[in-house]
Structure 1
Amino acid sequence: MGMISDLPDQMLLEILSWLPTTQVVATMLLSKQWKFLWRQVPKLYYNYSEHEGRDFSEFVSRSLQSQAVAEPENFFSRFVLELEIDLTAAQNPMITALPKSMYTCETLSCLRLKALVLDDIPEDYPICLSSLNYLYISVSIQVSADKFIGKLSAGAPLLKKTVVQGPVYGDDFLDSMTSYSELRSFTTCLSESCNSRPLSSWNQPGFTSTTHVPECLSTTLQTLEWRDYAETEFDMPVVSFLLKNATRLSEAKIFPESAAGPIEKLRIRTGLAKLSRGSPLCHLNLGN
């Protein structure tokens, strides 16, 4: 241990940043020098597959709270730049409660939440993610992420890129975009797998036309990617609305759902090519 322990703390933290958080936390047992070092790691990566049957939610909660020894109400603010919680390997949907202090992290710039069952953010939670510029969320088919994303992005004024994978329903989809002021890139895939739309009842409501245009569509949004597009009462009018009102858009990538046959895909591409575009510089990329 002597040689690696002789390295500067900053270098050790960089090394730890590339390890799963389960291994990072385990270093606290190495020596007195390492006992608290892991609490300063700027990247935390929680992966369900690394836990081998242990209580994942409990581990996430305890390890995050253990960083709160010095500042119980603000343990994220000084160190964490990137946070990822990945439940993709879980066989059953799991609710993982996110600590209240995460929503006021001043340094968090990248947040990735994969395959989580998300509860709505409580109304009394203050949200101030002043450095967040990248948000990735994939959610279970059982819930909608629109309200969660809307509240989260409302407190993230510098958010520039958002990727949403999973079901997004109704008018709340556009409502969630009204909070974006710096958004430059938006990607969505309406199925969990991003390969095929679920065959079970896909009863998302249709989209009701709105006169309110999110500010980011006319000021900052430059790239739009829509995967698993289908001719539904939601997909068609929403994509039409986005293309028409995104006046700064330089590229729109739209990919028909993979389950569609050749004739259906041709019909989809033909219909999309006819849609009005608010940006004269927008390149429409219709993928396979």
Structure 2
Amino acid sequence: MANISDLSDDLLVKILLSIPTKDIVGTSLLSKRWRSVWKLVPKLHYDDYSHTATASSQFIEKFLQLNNAPFLEALHLNLRNDYAPKDIERWVNVGVSRSVRDLELLRNVYYFKPMSLPMSVYTHETLVVLRLKQVFIENVPSTTSLRCLKDLSLINVNFSSDETVDRFLSCCPVLETLDVLRWISEKVKTFAIRAPLLQRLKINSPVGGYQNAWKDYGFVI
């Protein structure tokens, strides 16, 4: 019977893609053969649940520093701890520099502290999937181009104005899927959705006691 360690790096990477990132890194302890295979895996899916901010930062930093894949297929960060915005921005910038195609930045801070979307994202033309949570989009640069973006999720993303929403979405000409959950204190009154190729739209509306607070807000499709 063949030993799994005898497989090529390409096959081992395909196998590792199916398991969590922490377990992927853990395979480096199996044998000499496995010490560097994990560095070729083109994804980082990290959830800091049950980990301190310090430990999580060290893990993310080390993974991004040592990863040798030709490009990053996916960078998913599910962050419950309160990290410095400059640290998160640095991680995202590394992903963009590595041509990441699937970027997920989900902040789950109990007391929402606005963090601006890193500027590098606005001009990342090969991005296909973008999922954001608890991020602030204030000014959309004139150079913004998300010409390959097809899947966009905006969860509690705080836009500075109605016009900002319109400018941002207009830079996503091939958008097919849009998921929106609006932030209760945002400044946008009318969330206008103009996406000619849109195939799937999910709008999450507030419920219960929040309904009255939203009576002057709405969507235009």
TM-score by length of 2: 0.74
Contact persistence 2:47–2:78 (CA under 8 A): yes
1:136 aligned residue (118, 122, 131): 131
Report the Cα offset of residue 175 of structure 1: 2.5
Q: How does 1:67-82 map to 2 (within 5 A)?
A: 67=67, 78-82=70-74
Deviations 1:114-162 (A, max 9, x none): 226644425xx586534321111122xxxx43249x56x9343110110
Report the Cα offset of residue 4 of structure 1: 1.8
What secondary structure is seen at the aligned counterpart in 2 of 1:55? Answer: helix
Contact persistence 2:149–2:172 (CA under 8 A): yes
**Structure 2: which amino acid aligns with 1:225?**
K
| 1:226 counterpart = 2:203 | yes
Report the Cα offset of residue 163 of structure 1: 0.8
Per the alignment, residue 93 of structure 1 pairs with 82
| 1:175 counterpart = 2:202 | no
Per the alignment, residue 273 of structure 1 pairs with none
2:61 and 2:171 map into 1 onto residues whose CA distance is 29
Per the alignment, residue 96 of structure 2 pairs with 103
Report the Cα offset of residue 48 of structure 1: 0.8
Kindly tell me the number of residue pairs found equivalent between the two proteins: 203
1:145 aligned residue (122, 136, 140): 136
**Structure 2: which amino acid aligns with 1:101?**
V
| Residues 59 and 155 of structure 1: CA distance in aligned 2, closer, same or farther (over 3 Å) | farther
Per the alignment, residue 59 of structure 1 pairs with 59
Higher relative contact order (CA 8 A, sep 6+): 2
Contact persistence 2:78–2:106 (CA under 8 A): yes
Contact persistence 2:190–2:217 (CA under 8 A): no
Per the alignment, residue 205 of structure 1 pairs with 187
Per the alignment, residue 156 of structure 2 pairs with 166
What secondary structure is seen at the aligned counterpart in 2 of 1:224? Answer: strand
**Structure 1: which amino acid aligns with 2:83?**
M
Contact persistence 1:104–1:128 (CA under 8 A): no
2:43 and 2:188 map into 1 onto residues whose CA distance is 40
Contact persistence 2:116–2:138 (CA under 8 A): no
Rg larger for:
1
Gaps in structure 1 of 5+ consecutive residues: 68-74, 192-201, 244-288
Provide the aligned C-alpha RMSD in A. 3.2
Report the Cα offset of residue 82 of structure 1: 1.6
| Residues 29 and 136 of structure 1: CA distance in aligned 2, closer, same or farther (over 3 Å) | same
**Structure 2: which amino acid aligns with 1:102?**
G
**Structure 2: which amino acid aligns with 1:222?**
Q
Percent identity over the alignment is: 22
Report the Cα offset of residue 85 of structure 1: 1.1
